[in-house]
């Protein structure tokens, strides 16, 4: 199951967990509580995509103004504005509705941009905002399918950021997007020895193998650093694990 | 209770757990969180059905485009397209409503196909999409009964895939389909020693015996591999078990 | 409290737990998760009623076609069709509404049948389907009272099967039928040493004594076998007990 | 706080727990899961009231036909019908609405009866049926206040039976009747050493002292027998206690 | 933070916990399950206010008839009726709506009374009844603000009694009154060694210090007696604590 | 990640946890149960802002009258009224709607004030009141974005106070404001050795590092004192931690 082409995320430890990276052209969901580093991973994925792998990127944001993203990226040493000026990145500040419509229309500015700069990687920040499109889980699921099929059609390796609020990673997922994507990555707070640590786990990779360990990580200047697996703990994904042995 | 004819699933470890396979003509529910391997089991059931047992299959999918299914199957070494060209498999991409109606009509394309290629096995991916047909649990249950009675009438051994989101395997089952099927198989994430492992359990087999152990499994190239039962753990099905003794 | 006439269920271990059986003419609720053996107990109650005690039976089913019931019963060695032909059993496939109405009308086919073959035992599979009659707990309760009073009036010892989904046996009981019946019997999955076992407990027997142990049971060819009480476990009815001492 | 007149319940162990009995003229709530013995306590309260203390009683039932009550009482050795014929007990089978209205009207048959036979004790089986009067907690509370004020006005020591379904004795109490009564007594199932035992606790006695122990009890012929307090357990009222020390 | 004027509650142990009493003119919330002693504390606060500190009091009750309050108080040795006749206490039996309106109108009977007898202390039994004024949390919060601002404007040290039903003291607080008051005091049941004990904790005192221990208390003739802090327990406020070390 | 300009909160221990303070111009959320000290931190942030750092402040309050804020601040030794008279602080008592509108209008009194006195710090007490603007989570989120973008545009380092009611800091956050802010700080009650202690944790700091310890704190005259991290406890943020090792 290891011969599919890979798109490294650019987060070294995460790529190791993913057995080399995301399957090229696949769709990954990155779920996490506020502050666990979702947007950082998204920016790192796009920045390293350009720098290390020469792949153009698309960053779709529904809430954050581009200038705050540029500023936050700069704090990590990533000059996104420069990449944009060089035509290797496009940051789009839009609404879920407009983005979905654009994705369906071959002549929309977004689709033009995708083709003009040859987008290979996309980050959607965040798919939780799609919940504004419908209060019906079934309809919401349909919108997620439109989104994912649109990205798949273009062959764009995509990272869908998702806001999340509890130990059960499906419960707050109203449109059950986790069932439709190819990969699910969780970022979590875990209280260990009275310290708020962060944990990363890869749950699902369609058509591929991956590291099943739950690993500690930190957000540093320059992006995520993924460390050793946790040891002697049970219930890590509950957020309040217990020591064992 | 062991003399009913058996339809092996083609997943060796699971067939052992099922005391040889599913009862021929019966309906099984395969429930699992995203990424636990439901669709893989479904494809393996149909592919090995053709290859090992010479039984034609029907794969009904409500969301995934056939070409992504073909691709995912190929990653396991299963060439579904070829089987389809040989008239030994039919992949149908439709809606729950159309599928239910077709099942009732003897002259519908789906029923024609079922009879033309002599379908013996079917996979429905997934029954959770039937929730779009009604918001009323009672109505939804009626639709499930239509589906199951239709499949039973044709004598097709069927695997109903079901999305699931928690430790209580009935709670999120709005139409209570688990009560209507003949067999219930659960695929679960379990956090063991800070590692995300997968567990399989057979809960219910109407008119038959089965292995009551909760077993570890992995998704490998070529399908599911079912391993030894877990040991020294309590609360496995909660997802966050505790070590014992 | 032991002088009321008894109607043995025909499940030997359960009759021991019930101090001889159900009180004749009383109404028992048998609650359980899917696959725990509710319908098996129901069929055993009726089959052994005829065979061992010469009492005619009525099996009311709202979803399962009679022929699948016959087939499942046969797998246990119980030829229900034969009993029906001999006029000692009546299997009725109807709706909750029709059944309730029939029960009130002295000249309805169901009431005629009850009197013609002298029904002494009835199984209703399942009372959960009565939830289709009303979304109001209060109204639903009224329907349950109609049902139970109708059965009581005829002096029929009855087993009401009930679908159930959690550790709290009242929570999912929307019409609170457990408060109206004379006896409550629970069938549960319990995860013990990584094995899915089954547990039976008798909770309530109006006007009678009973075994308070929670016992292990299995569904075998020929019906339920009830074994020794569990030992060294706490929280059995939660489904994920802990070992003690 | 011990000089108020007492009305013994007639359940010896419970009277000890209540420091002699209920305060005369006060209103007690007896809450319990199905089968824990609420109705038995109610009948015992009325029967022993007549026999031991010469006090006439009123039994108001909203669902159970009087003849089933008579039968269940007889199983305990209590001939309620005889008491009724002697004019020392009145069993009323009515609706919550009619009962409330009657209580307000001095010339209603119920009020006449209360005065004719000089009712000193009443049992309402059950106050949960009042939930049919309103879906609004605030309105329901008002109905409970009407009921309780009506009983207080007549100086009748009353036992309100209440259906209950969980460890939190207030959560399912939609009209919060527990806050309005003078005494709260809980009957619970507790799983101890894999045995379903029963526990009784007195939570609240306005203007009086009481035993704070949680005690084991059984329902025997002749009524409740209250035993020693539980020992070495924590979380008894959760239903699944843990052993300590 | 200790120089604000104090109004002792008259419950000695509680005053010690409150570092001398409530801040004069402040608003305290006293939350508790049924039977934990809320009304007793309220009456004690007013009675001792008159007797020990010569401060006139106002008791506003929305459900209990004054004569039952007098009777319950007398059981503690507190003759409230006498205080009322002496013009040192006013007991008002009214509705939340009327009370709120009166509080806003300088010439209302309630405001006249407040000024005529120079009310310095008030008890509102209970603020939970304000929930009848609106189903909207936001509107309910506005009503609470009207109440609290009205009492503050008059400089009346006030105790708001609140019905409560669980371990999370905010969850059932629909209008979130706990955020608006100056002090929060909790009365709880805790099951310790199979005994239902009571615990008192002071959570919040705006502009003041307080005892952070969770203490055992009992309701005795003469009012609350507050004892030593609990020891070797964790999870006391959950109601089912565990023993430690 | 440490070169962004800092705005110290003025709470020494908290500034250490925040690696020097809040990022200048960023928006922080301070979430806590009633009485944990949210408003105290807000006042301390503004008072010390003026006194130690010469930065003018804005305190927006939706419920508390300014005079009670002045009084509570004075109890800590902070004379807010004086600061206001000196033109270094502005206390605004308004509604969420008016505040949002004013923030958008360059000529509104609030915006004039912000510019006249050169506001550098703002406290909004509390953002929970924005819930009155809409019952729709999506709309509420939009209002939060308006608020936050307005404050960001002005370059004001802001502290948004938020009422909170449970262990899961996102669950009761209807508009999911925690995902939009730059920093999240939690104040919590934790029951330790039968004592109600307080804990502070910094969860999220966009573009910056911070102390991950969960620390004990107390509210003293003069503001918050932050102490050592907790030790040997697991599950602190659940409120009912367990001792370890």
Tell me if E67 sits within 8 A of D238, measured CB to CB. no
Please report the pLDDT score of residue C169 as a whole number. Answer: 65
Please report the pLDDT score of residue B158 as a whole number. Answer: 98
Please report the pLDDT score of residue F186 as a whole number. Answer: 94
Share of chain A above pLDDT 70, in %: 95
Neighbours of chain B (3+ CB pairs under 8 A): A, C
Share of chain B above pLDDT 90, in %: 67
Q: What is the mean pLDDT of residues E203-215?
A: 85
Residues from chain E contacting residue D205 (CB–CB below 8 Å)? 35
Mean predicted lDDT score pLDDT of chain C: 90
Residues with Cβ within 8 Å of B81's Cβ and at least 6 positions away in sequence, in order, are B70
Mean predicted lDDT score pLDDT of chain A: 90
Short-list F85, D35, E199, CA closest to C201: D35
Q: Best residue in A31, A65, A194, A232 to probe F by mutation, most F CBs within 10 Å?
A: A194
pLDDT in tens, D29-84: 999 988 899 999 999 999 999 999 999 999 999 988 898 899 889 989 999 999 99
* Residue F75 in contact with partner chain E when CB distance is under 8 A: yes
Short-list B155, B165, B126, CA closest to B29: B126
Q: What is the mean pLDDT of residues F177-202?
A: 92
pLDDT in tens, F5-27: 999 999 999 999 999 999 999 99
- Is the pLDDT at E245 greater than 80, yes or no? no
Q: What is the mean pLDDT of residues B166-183?
A: 77
Please report the pLDDT score of residue A1 as a whole number. Answer: 44
- Is the pLDDT at A104 greater than 60, yes or no? yes
- Is the pLDDT at B3 greater than 70, yes or no? no
Tell me which residue has tokens 């070829």. B82
Q: Return the structure tokens found at D98.
A: 């009619």
Contact E234 F243 (CB under 8 A): yes
Please report the pLDDT score of residue C168 as a whole number. Answer: 62
- Is the pLDDT at F218 greater than 60, yes or no? yes
* Intra-chain end-to-end CA distance of chain E, in Å: 36
Residues with Cβ within 8 Å of D72's Cβ and at least 6 positions away in sequence, in order, are C206, C207, D39, D40, D43
Please report the pLDDT score of residue B237 as a whole number. Answer: 81
Neighbours of chain C (3+ CB pairs under 8 A): B, D
Q: Beta partners for E92?
A: E60
User: Cα–Cα distance between F223 and F75 in angstroms, integer?
Assistant: 10
* Residue E131 in contact with partner chain D when CB distance is under 8 A: yes
pLDDT in tens, C153-185: 999 999 999 987 665 666 667 778 899 999 999
Tell me if A127 sits within 8 A of A162, measured CB to CB. yes
Contact B203 C165 (CB under 8 A): no
Please report the pLDDT score of residue E205 as a whole number. Answer: 84
Residue B63 or residue D14, greater confidence:
D14
* DSSP classification of residue D37: S
Contact C234 D221 (CB under 8 A): no
- Is the pLDDT at D1 greater than 70, yes or no? no
**SS3 state at F18:** coil
* Residue A65 in contact with partner chain F when CB distance is under 8 A: yes
Residues from chain F contacting residue A241 (CB–CB below 8 Å)? 234
Rg, Å, chain D Cα set: 17
- Is the pLDDT at C187 greater than 50, yes or no? yes
- Is the pLDDT at E107 greater than 70, yes or no? yes
Residues from chain D contacting residue C149 (CB–CB below 8 Å)? 65
**pLDDT band of A81, cuts 50, 70, 90:** very high
Lowest mean pLDDT among A18-22, B26-30, B172-176, F48-52: B172-176
Please report the pLDDT score of residue B1 as a whole number. Answer: 44
* Residue B213 in contact with partner chain C when CB distance is under 8 A: yes
* Residue A171 in contact with partner chain F when CB distance is under 8 A: no
Mean predicted lDDT score pLDDT of chain F: 90
Tell me which residue has tokens 């944790």. F201
Q: Return the structure tokens found at F34.
A: 């009633």
Please report the pLDDT score of residue A172 as a whole number. Answer: 65
Share of chain F above pLDDT 70, in %: 95
Contact C245 D240 (CB under 8 A): no
ipTM, interface predicted TM-score of the complex: 0.87
**pLDDT band of F68, cuts 50, 70, 90:** confident
Residues from chain B contacting residue A208 (CB–CB below 8 Å)? 75
- Is the pLDDT at E80 greater than 70, yes or no? yes
Please report the pLDDT score of residue A206 as a whole number. Answer: 78
- Is the pLDDT at C2 greater than 50, yes or no? no
pLDDT in tens, B85-100: 999 999 999 999 999 9
Q: In A79-182, at which residue ranges do the beta strands (DSSP E only) sit? A: 89-93, 119-125, 157-163
Mean predicted lDDT score pLDDT of chain B: 90
* DSSP classification of residue A132: G
Please report the pLDDT score of residue A165 as a whole number. Answer: 62
**SS3 state at A202:** strand
- Is the pLDDT at D189 greater than 80, yes or no? yes
Tell me if B214 sits within 8 A of B236, measured CB to CB. yes
User: Cα–Cα distance between A118 and A111 in angstroms, integer?
Assistant: 10
Distance from CA of B126 to the nearest CA of A (A): 10
User: Cα–Cα distance between C80 and C64 in angstroms, integer?
Assistant: 14
Share of chain F above pLDDT 90, in %: 66
pTM of the model: 0.90
Backbone dihedral region for residue E177 (phi beyond 0: left; psi -120 to 50: alpha; all else: beta): alpha
- Is the pLDDT at F174 greater than 90, yes or no? no
pLDDT in tens, F76-99: 999 999 999 999 999 999 999 999
Contact D242 C234 (CB under 8 A): yes
User: Cα–Cα distance between A45 and D15 in angstroms, integer?
Assistant: 72
Residue A164 or residue A97, greater confidence:
A97
**pLDDT band of F1, cuts 50, 70, 90:** very low
Tally of helices (H runs) and strands (E runs) in chain A: 7, 13
Burial of C70 (0-12, 13-18, 19+ CB in 10 A): middle
* Residue D229 in contact with partner chain E when CB distance is under 8 A: yes
pLDDT in tens, E6-36: 999 999 999 999 999 999 999 999 999 888 9
**pLDDT band of D2, cuts 50, 70, 90:** very low
Chains D and C touch (3+ CB pairs under 8 A): yes
**pLDDT band of D172, cuts 50, 70, 90:** low
- Is the pLDDT at A228 greater than 70, yes or no? yes
Tell me if A235 sits within 8 A of A222, measured CB to CB. no
């Amino acid at each position: 199951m290891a011969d599919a082409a890979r798109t490294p995320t650019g987060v070294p430890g995460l790529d190791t967990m993913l057995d080399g990276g995301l399957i090229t052209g696949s769709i990954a969901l990155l779920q996490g509580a506020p502050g666990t580093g979702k947007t950082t991973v998204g920016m790192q994925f796009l920045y390293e995509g350009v720098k290390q792998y020469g792949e153009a990127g698309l960053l779709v944001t529904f809430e954050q103004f581009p200038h705050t993203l540029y500023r936050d990226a700069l704090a990590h040493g990533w000059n996104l504005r420069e990449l944009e000026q060089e035509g290797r990145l496009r940051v789009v500040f839009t609404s879920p509705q407009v983005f979905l419509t654009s994705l369906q229309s071959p002549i929309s500015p977004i689709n033009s941009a995708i083709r003009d700069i040859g987008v290979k990687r996309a980050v959607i920040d965040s798919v939780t905002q799609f919940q504004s499109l419908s209060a019906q889980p079934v309809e919401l699921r349909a919108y997620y399918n439109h989104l994912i099929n649109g990205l798949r059609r273009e062959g764009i390796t995509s990272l869908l950021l998702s806001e999340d609020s509890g130990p059960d990673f499906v419960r707050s997922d109203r449109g059950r997007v986790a069932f439709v994507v190819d990969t699910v990555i969780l970022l979590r707070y875990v209280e260990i020895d009275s310290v708020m640590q962060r944990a990363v786990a890869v749950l699902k990779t369609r058509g591929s193998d991956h590291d099943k360990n739950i690993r500690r990580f930190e957000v540093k200047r320059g992006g995520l650093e993924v460390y050793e697996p946790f040891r002697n703990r049970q219930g890590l994904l509950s957020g309040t694990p217990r020591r064992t042995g």
